[in-house]
Structure 1
Amino acid sequence: MVSNAPSFPTQSDVKKARALRRVKALATAALALCVLVFVLCRIYADVSPVIGFIGAFAEAAAIGGLADWYAVVALFRHPLGLPIPHTAIIPSNQTRIADNLGSFIESNFLAPEPVRKKLQQVDFAALVADWLADEKRSEGLSIFVARLMPKMLAAMENTGLRGFLLKRVTDQLEKIDVAPIAADLLATFTHERRHQRLFDEMIGLLGGFLTDEDAQDALRDRIRKELPTLANFFRADAYLLKKILHSGASLIEDIKADDDHPMRHEFDRFVARFIDNLRHSPEYRDRAEELKRNLLARPELATLADGLWKEVRGFIDRDVGAAESMLRTHLTGIFVEVGRSLADDANIRRDMNEGFVVALSSFVESQKSGVSSFISEQVRSWDLGQLTQVIELNIGRDLQYIRFNGMAIGGLAGIALHTIDVLFLS
């Protein structure tokens, strides 16, 4: 049988074996002494009545010592090598001992309440915080994580996970009602009339259009087409263009110079109506949803996502192999900051510890039957001789003292019986 027992002998086992041999020798010597005294007392019984008491003590002590020697030896082997029934108890019951040991550990050491109480004594969050707060450890962790990232990204591509994630993101975007979100964003943007900056940009663009020669030529051609031929003969188009450009430029300058211009208030009202329609108008909501669906359905979006994925993966591949990796540096900083923040926040540590206790106790509860089976299988697979030796080394020394106790108790019982015999039966 292949032994799965611990390696033997260890330094501790050598010391235990030496102590066991010493106690065995003393117990055997004491037993031999009792036998010798008994024999001598038999020979010199007539010398003195006291000899009878000593002989009674020695006789009973020898009997007690022999009985206890038999009991101790019978636990581990057959006494004198004789196959006496109900001896070599431990080797003969290896399977039962293994099963009972596994069940005992499962029932008493892996019960839910003791496990939870023991786990609650450990501050797991503090251990994590101290570990992460050490910059060298966090740096090592960041190196490990950075090395894994390219493999993780490659695995995502090979398993189709990237496409799955893109589809999940798209599905979630389709469920979002964009009109109220857009309304909230615009309302935030228009806070304290910040949208007037946009209006100023629009006015600036219009002013640039009016001063652009190509735009002026296009406007002149449009005016010429709308005027009668006779008006064009008198160059009315040039006059009208000049008036339009002058009036437009004057209006733009007035708007730029006056923060309280009516056109600005009109723009305020337009933006407010648009925000209100986004929030409450079904028509605007339908238009926003249609725009969203059209945008998500465009093939350019998938192309953009694919290109973005390739860029991210390429950057990570290059950065991980660089001597001065930005990714590793940032990860190290993040881990250290997490450790320090965790050390300063008792509430988070308490919540984390509760989570650790629940998770670990649940794991132990789900696996304790496996632990019991594992212990039982390991003990059953041990070599019988080695199993016996391991048990005897650990408890044999204490068992040898039973022999001393047996001789002492037997001797006292012998004296008591001899006294009764002398006083009442002789």
Structure 2
Amino acid sequence: MRLSATLMLVAMAVVFAIAFPRQDLHPAWGYVRAFAEAGMIGGLADWFAVTALFRHPLGLPIPHTAIIPRNKDRIADTMADFLRRNFLTPHVVARRLQDMNLAAALGRFLVERRSSDAELGRIRSGAVQLLVDLLEALDPERLGLQVKAGLAAQARKLEVSPLLGRMLAGAMQDGRHRPVIDALVRWAGLTLEGNEELVREMIRARANAVLRWTGLDDRLSSSVLDGLYRLLAEILVDPQHPLRGRMEEGLAKLAANLQTDPVVRAKVERAKLDLLANPALGDWWMGVWERIRHGMIAAARDPDSALDGQLGAALRELGEKLQSDPALQAQINRLARRTLVGVAQRYGEQIVRLVSETVKRWDAQTITDRIENAVGRDLQFIRINGTLVGGLVGVALHAITQLF
């Protein structure tokens, strides 16, 4: 566009050079000369004006030129003040978010994911590539160790015994402990079945010589095993079996002790600390972290596949809930407003200071190039329009002089 504007100015000069010696041959040549002459003047004036914004025209230190490079610090402060007053004050953020239904918009995005991908494809692809680059660039071992240290520090602060007690008590109130008891009974039966010979040997070893001599030790061991199998079967099929009740009483007592007994709580705390200090737990976590990182990279590279199946169905269900439940929308929108207002209040000044200091650190050429490229083609259209408008004004003035 800069070349086009310059070529138009050159064209006006060529037309003027052709028309000027011929203006007395025919009245039309006078209009052509007037158009070209005024077009040159308009084009040159606008070239000077556009150039003076960013640099000295022809390198000459003419006063009031190179306006942007000379005033870049003031421009930086003005940009920061503009952001502060119009975007990053708490009342402005709250007012702008007041009429925005962020929850419903999120719901539409989750439900209409494919159409939203078409609309936001460039944004998503850029964000995906940024996430992939970030995950691949980070040192996986160092990051995994940092995450592990952070989790371990939080785990040390958290007393898990009361939490486990409340979880167990809540599970028993809802009856969710019964499948666990059934699973334990089945496990005991399978363990007994897999170790029958060991049980028989233990009974034989404890039987006296008379029982072994008469062969009654085999009958005794078979009777013991049959009795144990029958007992486990009765516990499994009878919800009111006394031993099942004893097990539930034991679980209830354990839930209470986990919450109130200092000795039990201290034992659980020591076990937690021993577990955290175990190197095997660290090795296990590093393996889990690597799987998580590779899974995140794969999901970022192929988000459509990652959002298929149960995860995609769950997200769509969440999106439908967000769209249809006004109470949920109100809660999420209120949380979003409070969060963003809090961010603006706590970090708004730091954000605008970052903008100001960044612009101030740019050299004159950098800020000139960036602003000029940001404005783009319109700067050269100013020159083109100035050339054309100047030419038309020249024709009009020539016509007026001919009439009067």
Query: TM-score under structure 1 normalisation?
Result: 0.52
Distance in 1 (alpha carbons) for counterparts of 2:132 and 2:76:
44
1:313 maps to a residue whose letter is R
Cα distance per residue 1:340-387 (max 9 Å; x no partner): 95998464465467457645576447867998999x9999xxxxxxxx
8 A contact 1:125–1:352 mirrored in 2: no
Of 207, 217, 237 in structure 2, the residue corresponding to residue 237 of structure 1 is 217
8 A contact 1:183–1:278 mirrored in 2: yes
8 A contact 1:139–1:328 mirrored in 2: no
Match of 1:171?
153
Matched, 1:203 2:185: yes
Give secondary structure in 2 for the equivalent of 1:160: helix
Distance in 2 (alpha carbons) for counterparts of 1:314 and 1:142:
19
Distance in 2 (alpha carbons) for counterparts of 1:204 and 1:232:
32
Distance in 2 (alpha carbons) for counterparts of 1:305 and 1:155:
20
Alpha-carbon spacing, 1:257–1:192, altered in 2? closer, same or farther (3 Å): same
Distance in 2 (alpha carbons) for counterparts of 1:371 and 1:239:
94
2:133 maps to a residue whose letter is K
TM alignment of 1:144-223, pairs within 5 A: 144-157=126-139, 160-209=142-191, 212=193, 214-215=195-196, 217-223=197-203
Distance in 1 (alpha carbons) for counterparts of 2:231 and 2:352:
80
Matched, 1:326 2:326: no
Cα distance per residue 1:164-200 (max 9 Å; x no partner): 2221111111221111121122123222433232222
TM alignment of 1:12-411, pairs within 5 A: 110=81, 134-157=116-139, 160-209=142-191, 212=193, 214-215=195-196, 217-321=197-301, 325-327=304-306, 345=329, 347-348=333-334, 350-351=337-338, 354=341, 358=345, 363-364=351-352
Distance in 2 (alpha carbons) for counterparts of 1:213 and 1:305:
33
8 A contact 1:120–1:357 mirrored in 2: no
Cα distance per residue 1:2-29 (max 9 Å; x no partner): xxxxx9xx89xx9xxxxxxxxxxxxxxx
Which consecutive unaligned segments of at least 5 residues does structure 1 have? 1-6, 15-90, 380-392, 394-426
8 A contact 2:140–2:290 mirrored in 1: no
Cα distance per residue 1:256-300 (max 9 Å; x no partner): 343212112111111111111111222212221222122222222
Alpha-carbon spacing, 1:163–1:258, altered in 2? closer, same or farther (3 Å): closer
Distance in 1 (alpha carbons) for counterparts of 2:246 and 2:95:
68
Match of 2:17?
none
Distance in 2 (alpha carbons) for counterparts of 1:148 and 1:102:
31
Distance in 2 (alpha carbons) for counterparts of 1:257 and 1:193:
16
Cα distance per residue 1:306-364 (max 9 Å; x no partner): 22233233344445555x75348789x979x88x9599846446546745764557644
Which consecutive unaligned segments of at least 5 residues does structure 2 have? 10-61, 369-385, 387-404
Displacement of 1:110 in angstroms is 4.1
Distance in 1 (alpha carbons) for counterparts of 2:226 and 2:102:
76
Match of 2:14?
none
Give secondary structure in 2 for the equivalent of 1:194: coil
| More off after superposition, 129-138 vs 311-320 | 129-138
Distance in 1 (alpha carbons) for counterparts of 2:172 and 2:286:
35
Distance in 2 (alpha carbons) for counterparts of 1:193 and 1:151:
48
Alpha-carbon spacing, 1:198–1:127, altered in 2? closer, same or farther (3 Å): closer
| Higher alpha-carbon Rg | 1
1:300 maps to a residue whose letter is A
Displacement of 1:222 in angstroms is 1.8
Displacement of 1:304 in angstroms is 1.8
1:326 maps to a residue whose letter is S
Instruction: State the superposition RMSD in angstroms.
Output: 5.4
Distance in 2 (alpha carbons) for counterparts of 1:203 and 1:137:
56
Alpha-carbon spacing, 1:151–1:103, altered in 2? closer, same or farther (3 Å): closer
Distance in 2 (alpha carbons) for counterparts of 1:118 and 1:208:
68
1:274 maps to a residue whose letter is L
Distance in 2 (alpha carbons) for counterparts of 1:127 and 1:245:
65
Alpha-carbon spacing, 1:372–1:125, altered in 2? closer, same or farther (3 Å): farther
Distance in 2 (alpha carbons) for counterparts of 1:257 and 1:247:
15
Displacement of 1:153 in angstroms is 1.9
2:219 maps to a residue whose letter is Y
2:241 maps to a residue whose letter is H
Give secondary structure in 1 for the equivalent of 2:138: helix
1:224 maps to a residue whose letter is R
Matched length: 299
Alpha-carbon spacing, 1:138–1:189, altered in 2? closer, same or farther (3 Å): farther
Cα distance per residue 1:199-244 (max 9 Å; x no partner): 223333344455x3751x3223222222221221112212322332
